[in-house]
């Protein structure tokens, strides 16, 4: 979890890859191959009425939006699991010494 967090923060600071992902897909339009949503700054994700600007490949915007939301959902799920693991570790570290005071003996 630490490595993806560092990568995400690094990409956000340099804004090299994050801005490219908000430009939208590179597709064939009536003006040739271009980024038709580059001026939208990510707003095209919630405006399906402008998605037909991309003529080729077919349904590329739908594919990209679906992939984005699946990856976002998996990242949220990973974050929740990480928080549960952290909580479990803290509970075990705090409660184990006081709750499980057992004396062990080597005599059988």
pLDDT, averaged per 10 consecutive residues of the chain (108 residues), comes to 62 54 84 90 87 91 89 92 92 76 64
In this prediction, residue 30 carries a pLDDT of 92
pLDDT at res. 94: 83
Whole-model pTM above 0.75? no
CA 100 to chain centre: 39
41: left (phi over 0), alpha (psi -120 to 50) or beta: left
């Amino acid at each position: 979890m630490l490595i993806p967090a560092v990568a995400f923060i690094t990409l956000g600071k340099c804004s090299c890859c994050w801005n490219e992902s908000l430009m939208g897909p590179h597709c064939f339009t009536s003006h040739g191959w271009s980024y038709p949503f580059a001026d939208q700054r990510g707003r095209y994700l919630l405006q399906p009425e402008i998605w037909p600007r991309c003529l080729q490949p077919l349904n590329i915007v739908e594919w990209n939006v679906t992939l984005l939301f699946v990856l976002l959902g998996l990242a949220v799920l990973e974050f929740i699991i990480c928080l549960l693991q952290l909580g479990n570790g803290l509970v075990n570290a705090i409660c184990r010494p006081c709750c499980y005071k057992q004396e062990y003996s080597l005599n059988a």
